[in-house]
Chains A and B, each alone.
Chain A
């Protein structure tokens, strides 16, 4: 019984240590984006490769769209006070990913653009 307890404690501490290391390696970021005629704020998001990125997009006026060009991401952003769209990513490739409003929202619709920039190291992302 005593041996079982010792083994159990060893395993628990080992797993806790491993999960802590894993948590440190996988950075999780939540970014709230305000969509309104005719801008996304923030419109430029910098992350490090491996980051688990969660975008919460809400509108201050009409329904907008959120589309990442060249990727299979195209969601609708509900109208003011009617909820938010949530998009989650795992940044697996370094690069620049431009996004835009995909639902015609007025005269300046094509101005609604932004970029997610995935950097190889944290220093570049923080710069």
Chain B
């Protein structure tokens, strides 16, 4: 009898044991992950905490049920207003261009403020001080580059209004110093695309499927009286300062970001810009294409931008009558660049170093209206090469050299040696 019970107990224990095995096996992955994350957190705790200044107890792992909650997106917590921390970026430069004295310039001091009224209504702003001092004797500017409210309806459709960035090019919407190589932003995205291109406006944006994005805004137009042969459209920006709203420009961008590391984009901007000349009919249309791809430690990017201006002969004549000098503005501006970079030291910061090389070709007088001649000095190209050292992924120490050429035999383009320190927080 005792033997029989022993056998029965044995079977029960055996059964319980075996029942536990698959259960334990099923849970093994559950335990495995927190262990791995914990090891990451332990291994990186000091670095992450020290370098980012965040609470080291941030939740690196969550294990939750994906369950629809009452009032999805409008839960009590989502209605609590949240003012985010102040963020910002800065750019400090040493520029040594040929034929000029070297300069030290605190080029940009930018602070970002944001506030969430709710999950669906958010405010973002960017206040920029350029060249440290704003006074009559300096080039300093204080600019409100962004200040908009986003009404986030759904992922595929959102509304934005306020001071917005024109969605044109790579750098205009993505200009934090650690995300691009070179001390100065690419020339094509300075004189052909007038980065940072911002203005008062409103529009829609969203993403559909896996990575197909769009943005479409109506925004203030450019002021043709500010156009020039050297700087192109740059000084035509109204910057939301009592902007003339007789005409409104339309701008849009489509983008594909669905493949890891790849971004392909195309933008257009079009608007009547001759409001300063009652009898003038000046319009500007810009088309732009760009792509970026990074694979392992390689990164390659390229951009092509082309601006078409109508009514320019009349504009040149009008400006000549007003200021006495013909500005010689072109009816087409064009530029492109290609850049490659490689992480020579691909370790976690502070042992992270990249090298880059960039070729740019840009002409602010690509096509002249009939009766006007182009100036060879404005047909330029350049090679820039250098390194970017990252003591932290958000801090970039940059050193580069730019060899610039133009087609003029009289006025040589200056080469330059540049050192920069840029950071984001």
A interface residue numbers (CB < 8 A to B): 3-4, 7-8, 11-12, 15-16, 18-19, 22-23, 26, 28, 34, 37-39, 41-44, 53-54, 59-63, 68-76, 78-93, 95, 97-98, 104, 106-111, 113-116, 118
Q: Quick one: given A39-B257, A109-B124, A114-B155, are A75 and B62 in contact (CB under 8 Å)?
A: yes
- Report the Cα distance A30→B41, complex, angstroms: 20
B25 at the interface (CB under 8 A from A): yes
- 19 new A-B contacts at CB < 8 Å, known A81-B352, A106-B179: A11-B14, A19-B26, A54-B33, A62-B176, A68-B66, A75-B58, A79-B52, A79-B349, A79-B393, A81-B347, A82-B348, A82-B349, A83-B43, A88-B61, A98-B155, A106-B176, A108-B174, A110-B152, A114-B155
User: Closest CB-CB distance, A93 to chain B, in whole Å?
Assistant: 5
User: Closest CB-CB distance, B55 to chain A, in whole Å?
Assistant: 9
Proximity string of chain B (110-141) to chain A, C-beta cutoff 8 Å, 1 when within and 0 when not: 00101000010010101000000000000000
- Report the Cα distance A95→B73, complex, angstroms: 13
- Report the Cα distance A106→B146, complex, angstroms: 11
Which residues of B in the span 387-403 have a Cβ within 8 Å of any Cβ on A? Answer: 392-394
Contacts of A109 in B (CB 8 A): 114, 124
A37, B152: Cβ atoms under 8 Å?
Answer: no
- Report the Cα distance A126→B344, complex, angstroms: 40
- Report the Cα distance A117→B178, complex, angstroms: 34
B146, A107: Cβ atoms under 8 Å?
Answer: yes
Which residues of B in the span 41-74 have a Cβ within 8 Å of any Cβ on A? Answer: 41, 43-44, 47-48, 51-52, 54, 58-69, 71-74
- Report the Cα distance A69→B153, complex, angstroms: 12
Please give me the residue from chain B that is nearest to A74 by CB atom.
B59
Q: Quick one: given A39-B257, A88-B62, A92-B65, are A44 and B14 in contact (CB under 8 Å)?
A: no
Q: Quick one: given A81-B349, A110-B122, are A42 and B62 in contact (CB under 8 Å)?
A: no
B66, A92: Cβ atoms under 8 Å?
Answer: yes
B81 at the interface (CB under 8 A from A): no
Contacts of B63 in A (CB 8 A): 87-89
A4, B61: Cβ atoms under 8 Å?
Answer: no
B interface residue numbers (CB < 8 A to A): 7, 10-11, 14-15, 18-19, 21-22, 25-26, 29-30, 33, 36-37, 40-41, 43-44, 47-48, 51-52, 54, 58-69, 71-75, 78, 84-85, 87, 89, 112, 114, 119, 122, 124, 126, 146, 150, 152, 154-155, 158, 165, 173-176, 178-179, 205, 207, 209-211, 213, 257-261, 263, 294, 346-349, 352, 392-394, 424
- Report the Cα distance A19→B60, complex, angstroms: 30
A108, B173: Cβ atoms under 8 Å?
Answer: yes
B263, A39: Cβ atoms under 8 Å?
Answer: yes
Interface centre among A44, A88, A114 (most CB of B within 10 A): A88
Contacts of B67 in A (CB 8 A): 71, 92-93
Contact residue among B18, B87, B126, B261 (Cβ-Cβ distance under 8 Å from A12): B18
Please give me the residue from chain B that is nearest to A11 by CB atom.
B18
User: Closest CB-CB distance, A105 to chain B, in whole Å?
Assistant: 8
User: Closest CB-CB distance, B335 to chain A, in whole Å?
Assistant: 22
Contacts of A110 in B (CB 8 A): 122, 124, 150, 152, 158
Contacts of A118 in B (CB 8 A): 66
Interface centre among A15, A16, A53 (most CB of B within 10 A): A15
A90, B60: Cβ atoms under 8 Å?
Answer: no
A107, B165: Cβ atoms under 8 Å?
Answer: yes
B19, A38: Cβ atoms under 8 Å?
Answer: no
Contacts of A4 in B (CB 8 A): 7, 10-11
Contact residue among B19, B51, B260, B261 (Cβ-Cβ distance under 8 Å from A79): B51
User: Closest CB-CB distance, B413 to chain A, in whole Å?
Assistant: 31
- Report the Cα distance A98→B71, complex, angstroms: 14
- Report the Cα distance A35→B14, complex, angstroms: 49
Contacts of B424 in A (CB 8 A): 62, 106
Contacts of B66 in A (CB 8 A): 53, 68, 71, 89-93, 97, 116, 118
User: Closest CB-CB distance, A28 to chain B, in whole Å?
Assistant: 7
Contact residue among B41, B72, B210 (Cβ-Cβ distance under 8 Å from A70): B72
